[in-house]
């Protein structure tokens, strides 16, 4: 069982994550960016990180630890990510916003 509470030890290990076949599914559908509510899109037991490697290879951006995804399930929305500019970093915090019509 996955826990959204970072203080809970299951937070880093109690979720399925994506394997190689799921990562390639993303590529086949021409996804440009995606987000997950877990600390990584990869399966936590993976040592090869197929989703991270796919994102790097295909230039697909992904967002980790996205909160409140339950509020946009089955809803069409525009995603806007406001990242912090960090010199020399390959990742960093982003303010994720869903703009919902209506």
In a domain, residue 76? The reply is yes
In a domain, residue 67? The reply is yes
DSSP E strand stretches across 9-93: 33-35, 61-63, 77-83
Q: What is the pTM of this model?
A: 0.82
Structurally, how many domains does the chain consist of? Answer: 1
The residue range of the domain holding 46 is: 9-100
Average pLDDT over residues 47-59: 96
Checking if the pLDDT of 45 tops 60, the result is yes
d(CA 80, CA 90): 19
CATH, residue 67 = 3.50.30.50
Kindly report, residue by residue over 57-66, the tens digit of the pLDDT. 999 999 999 9
Residue 94 host element (H or E): strand 94-100
Checking if the pLDDT of 75 tops 70, the result is yes
In a domain, residue 43? The reply is yes
């Amino acid at each position: 069982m996955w826990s959204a509470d970072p203080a809970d030890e299951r937070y880093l290990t109690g979720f399925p994550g994506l394997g190689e076949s799921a990562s390639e599914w993303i590529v086949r559908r021409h996804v440009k960016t995606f987000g997950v509510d877990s600390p990584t899109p990869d399966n936590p037991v993976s040592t090869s990180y197929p989703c991270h490697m796919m994102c790097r290879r295909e230039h697909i951006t992904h967002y980790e630890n996205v909160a409140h995804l339950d509020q946009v399930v089955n809803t069409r929305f525009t995603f806007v990510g406001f990242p912090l500019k960090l010199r020399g970093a390959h990742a960093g915090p982003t303010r994720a916003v869903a703009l919902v019509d209506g």
